[in-house]
Structure 1
């Protein structure tokens, strides 16, 4: 399984404000051309939501439905694919105070489910995922500074 981490600092936002913006999935298509559509369904009885995503991937589209669990007190949210084009796709977002701003960390693990093509497709998917997250964060949070270039590993 491939793992991706993207960490940025938003110097002008509180952790609460950054978290609220990250949880607003419906705005993501406004922020980057690669996120084509996000449909967020009403909250379930347990407070989680289900969201449906359509994202550009190379010359096509990736689609999936995920369950999103919000941990407002901890300023984190986790997601797990319920169905879609990935074999496995899960991860989290975390916001924490950092020197007058907010440190935002996105972590994900994925498997495209194509072992014979993994050496070719996984690095492309990882790069696309990292780029999309960075563009979304710039759009949501304004000026951000990358803490790490983003890490990826199997």
Structure 2
């Protein structure tokens, strides 16, 4: 199963503010044409939300519904697909104080559910996800995404 980990350092942005911006999914379409729409339902009794996504992939739209679980005290957010075009899709965002800013870590694993085409489609999906998250983080926080683990050790 493909696993994507991305890091970004947002200078001059504290973890609480970075977390607030990342948690605002409705704004994601403002920062990339790849995310066509995100709708977020009112919070459930436990504070989690259900969101519906439509994202451009290989000339079509991938759609899914996910549960988003927020932990503002630790500046983390977890998501897990409930239904949709992936066989599975789950991950998290984490915001940690780093120097005069915030280290943002995006961590996700997905399965497109097409084993016979995984060798072809998985790298395309992984590249699309990396590009998409890069655009979102740049737009929300002015931070550049890196692949390396070096940013996490900073």
TM over 0.5: yes
| Offset, 1:149 | 4.7
SS in 2 for 1:79: strand
| Offset, 1:12 | 1.7
Could you tell me which runs of 5 or more consecutive residues in structure 2 were left unpaired when the two chains were aligned.
Answer: 150-154
| Offset, 1:148 | 3.0
Q: Which residues in structure 2 correspond to 1:4-153 (within 5 Å)?
A: 4-142=4-142, 144-149=143-148
| Distance across 2 between alignment mates of 1:38 and 1:46 | 21
In the comparison of the two structures, how many residue pairs are matched?
Answer: 149
| Distance across 1 between alignment mates of 2:145 and 2:100 | 16
Query: TM-score, normalized by length of structure 1?
Result: 0.94
Query: TM-score, normalized by length of structure 2?
Result: 0.94
Assess if the C-alpha contact under 8 Å between 2:137 and 2:144 holds in 1: no
SS in 1 for 2:113: coil
Could you tell me which runs of 5 or more consecutive residues in structure 1 were left unpaired when the two chains were aligned.
Answer: none
| Offset, 1:146 | 3.5
What RMSD in Å do the two structures reach over aligned CA positions? 1.1
